[in-house]
A = this chain, B = another copy of it.
Amino acid sequence: MYPLAGSQPYPRNQWYVAAWSGEVDEAIVARTILDTPIVLFRDADGHIAALDDRCPHRRFPLSKGWLKDGNIVCGYHGFVFSGSGACVHVPSQARPFESQRTTAYPVRERSNLVFVWIGDREAADEALLPDLAPMHADDPEWELVVGGKAHLQARYMLLHDNILDLTHLSYLHRNSVGSPGISRARVQSTDLPNGLHVDREVLSDTMEGSPLGAALGIQGPVDRLMPQFFLAPCLHVTGPEFRSAMADGVKPGHSYGIFRVIHAIVPETPSTTHYFWGVTRNFKQGDAAMTGVLRKNIEAALAEDIEASEAIERMLAMSGGPEEINCAADAAGAKGRRIIQRMINAENR
């Protein structure tokens, strides 16, 4: 299970993002998380429910059915289940038996993200929900734009590797959001309880020729401050602040604004992954053109990350190959791997 040891591909007793809240407002959502097909819907009280998507009667997907009074009706033989997993109607019976029920998974909504707990139900612990402060999603000075989601034919750890080694911006994203100085920047990382805080300062870098730089109106040399947070097992917050680096020019130290990108990297199966993303910013709130610029630039970079990760996944499907080598820039990525590995190990003690 490169790049992890052992046969268990992911921690199970953790909260994972299963959807953006808005998705469940619009439709019944079918989604596979940690090899488990679930159906998400809002019950009569407006709470999101997560049931196993396999109807316990004949395994037809409940998500192909419909809602009735906040319960979900199976579209095959008409069994009806409440958000708690209890069966509330069986067409051929006067009333359901107690034993006719299905599996419900714990759900929490935070900052427009829907978290589910697929592991042992009795281990579900709200205190393990990540601290989403670095997202600024609930900060009135900031605006959240829900980006969307992507689906990858690649294992989730390749994306943790990707995000924790931002030197790839100078190469993989050289034609989109990258700049040449990033691969040579000084990096400092601090451990968090279940994660990592990495600080990167790219001094006197250039954004000349970069679509992102042009969109932000950057002129001349800039300092690019790039804090990033890994909130294991599935969230990252990244994103730059650009500051004018002209020592004696116009507005030295002037900030062009800050944006933060939220990445939720969620295993679907051992070799496929959901990627939910969004962006918050502290400037030009409500400006649709700026929203469009950020969306377009982030989507361009994301497409490059997806293509790279899927290419690597195809390589991993082949046996053999040279021994893995590491370099100075891999410190944060190596820590990230160890955090995930520790979570897996803790479940097997």
Task: Contact check, B171 vs A74: say whether CB atoms are below 8 A apart.
Answer: yes
A37–B183 Cα distance when bound, in Å, is 27
Give bound CA distance, A78 to B174, whole Å.
11
Interface size on A, residues (CB 8 A): 57
Rounded to whole angstroms, the CA-CA distance of A144 and B58 in the bound complex is 33
Q: Is the CB of A325 within 8 A of B77?
A: no
Please report the C-alpha to C-alpha distance between residue A87 and residue B170 in the assembled complex, in whole angstroms. Answer: 18
Given A60-B312, A61-B311, A183:B77 Cβ within 8 A = yes
A316 at the interface (CB under 8 A from B): yes
Contact B35 A320 (CB under 8 A): yes
One of B52, B56, B165, B328 near A90 (C-beta < 8 A): B328
Tell me the nearest residue of chain B to A158, going by C-beta: B58
Complex contacts, A327 vs chain B, CB 8 Å: 57, 77, 79, 90, 92-93, 100
Contact (Cβ within 8 A) A57 B167: no
B76 touches A171 (CB 8 A): yes
User: Are A326 and B57 CB-contacts (below 8 A) given A35-B320, A92-B184, A318-B32?
Assistant: yes
- Docked complex Cα distance between A76 and B103 (Å): 42
Nearest residue (CB) in B for A269 is B318
Contact with B along A303-318 (1 / 0, CB 8 A): 0000010011001101
> Given A91-B167, A183-B77, are A311 and B58 neighbors across the interface (CB < 8 Å)?
no
A324 contacts the other chain (CB 8 A): yes
A101 neighbours in B (Cβ, 8 Å): 322, 325
Cα–Cα distance between A101 and B36 once the two chains are bound (Å):
41
Residues of B within 8 A of A90 (CB): 327-328
Q: Which of A17-55 contact B (CB under 8 A)?
A: 32, 35-37, 52-54
- A-side interface mostly: loop
**Residues of chain B lying within 8 A (CB to CB) of residue A99:** 325
- What sequence of 0s and 1s flags, for each residue 154-191 of chain A, a beta carbon within 8 Å of any chain B beta carbon? 00000001000101101110000000000110000000
Specify which chain B residues have a CB less than 8 angstroms from the CB of A184 in the assembled complex.
91-92
User: Contact at B315–A37, with CB atoms within 8 Å?
Assistant: yes
Q: How far is the CB of A25 from chain B (nearest CB, A)?
A: 24
Indicate if the CB atoms of A311 and B172 lie closer than 8 Å.
no
Cβ–Cβ < 8 Å partners of A347 in chain B: none
Does any Cβ of B come within 8 Å of A149's Cβ? no
Q: Scoring A residues 86 to 100 as 1 if CB is less than 8 Å from chain B, else 0, what string do you get?
A: 010011110000011
CB-CB nearest 9 A-B residue pairs: A92-B329, A91-B183, A56-B322, A92-B328, A78-B171, A54-B321, A59-B315, A56-B325, A102-B322
The interface of chain A, by Cβ under 8 A from chain B, is 32, 35-37, 52-54, 56-61, 64, 73-79, 87, 90-93, 99-103, 161, 165, 167-168, 170-172, 183-184, 308, 311-312, 315-316, 318-329
Given A76-B171, A93-B327, 16 further pairs, Cβ under 8 A: A32-B318, A35-B319, A36-B318, A36-B320, A54-B315, A76-B172, A76-B308, A77-B167, A77-B168, A77-B171, A77-B327, A91-B171, A91-B184, A101-B325, A102-B322, A103-B322
